[in-house]
C-alpha cells in the first residue's frame, strides 16, 4: 500500500509570484499568482506543490478547505518524513528555537 501524508497549507492568492513563504505554527504558507476564482488557485496550488515536491499534481488532493485560504491536503506516494524533508520543514524547528 502506498504511503500518504497530510499537509496544512495557507494560500495567499494574487501574489506577485508563486513561492513557498515558509512555515508558521505547523502550516506551510504558499503564495500563488492565480486568483481565488473558479478553483484556479486550487489548481495552481496542486501544480506548484507537485513541481516543488517532484510528483504529479494528480497525487495531491484538497481534502478540506477548497473554498478558503486554509487547506488540508493529502499527498499520495510520500510519507510524512519525505514530505517534510522536501519542503524544508526542518527549518521550522530552527526558527522556533530561541537565539
Domain boundaries of the chain, sorted by first residue: 4-96
CATH says 4-96 is which class? alpha beta
Among 23, 6, 2, which Cα is nearest to 80's?
Answer: 6
Q: The pTM is what?
A: 0.85
What's residue 76's pLDDT? 96
95: pLDDT strictly greater than 50: no
pLDDT in tens, 13-56: 999 999 999 999 999 999 999 999 999 999 999 999 999 999 99
- Centroid of chain to Cα 78: 13
Amino acid at each position: 500500500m502506498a504511503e500518504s501524508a497530510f499537509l496544512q497549507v495557507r494560500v495567499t492568492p494574487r501574489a506577485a509570484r508563486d513561492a513557498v513563504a515558509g512555515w508558521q505554527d505547523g502550516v506551510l504558507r504558499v503564495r500563488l499568482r492565480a486568483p481565488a476564482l473558479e478553483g484556479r488557485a486550487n489548481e495552481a496550488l496542486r501544480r506548484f506543490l507537485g513541481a516543488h515536491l517532484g510528483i504529479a499534481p494528480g497525487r495531491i488532493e484538497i481534502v478540506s478547505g477548497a473554498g478558503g485560504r486554509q487547506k488540508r491536503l493529502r499527498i499520495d506516494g510520500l510519507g510524512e518524513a519525505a514530505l517534510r524533508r522536501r519542503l524544508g520543514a526542518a527549518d521550522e524547528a530552527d526558527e522556533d528555537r530561541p537565539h
